[in-house]
Structure formats: structure tokens, C-alpha cells
């Protein structure tokens, strides 16, 4: 789940629902609204995935 809602983790019911769902939560705060803001968030996370996945593969292989 990709969000820019920094207060989400201060609401106990939302924290419990996220934990129970098994989703991974990524918070990416920014000052852009609407489609432009969503596009910036998605592009940022997508750009970081190859590096993050590479690190995870190495960790799993060595672990």
C-alpha cells in the first residue's frame, strides 16, 4: 500500500487493519496533489525496486 498519510499509523483501527491484511505499507510524503502526486509516488517506488529486490536476493541467498 502506497500512501502519503503520515497520521495513518496514529489511528489504532487502521494500524490493526493493515497488520491483519498482510499488506506492506510504504509512506512517501510529498506536497503534490491529485494524479501528479500519485504519479510521483509510484515512479519513485518503481525506480527503487530493482535495487531493493537485488538486496533482498543477496540477503536470502546468504541467510
Sole residue written with cell 494524479: 35
Q: How much is the pLDDT for 38?
A: 86
> Within 13 Å, how many C-alpha atoms sit on residue 29's CB side?
4
How far, in Å, CA of 53 to CA of 48, rounded? Answer: 9
Tens of pLDDT, residue by residue over 1-39, are: 878 888 989 999 999 999 999 988 888 777 888 899 889
Q: How much is the pLDDT for 25?
A: 85
Q: How much is the pLDDT for 14?
A: 92
Residue 59 has pLDDT above 80, yes or no: yes
Amino acid at each position: 500500500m502506497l500512501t502519503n498519510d503520515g497520521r495513518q499509523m496514529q489511528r489504532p483501527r487502521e494500524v490493526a487493519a493493515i497488520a491483519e491484511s498482510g499488506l506492506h505499507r510504504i509512506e512517501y510524503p510529498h506536497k503534490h496533489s491529485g494524479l501528479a502526486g500519485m504519479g510521483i509516488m509510484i515512479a519513485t517506488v518503481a525506480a527503487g525496486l530493482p535495487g531493493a529486490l537485488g538486496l533482498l536476493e543477496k540477503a536470502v541467498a546468504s541467510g
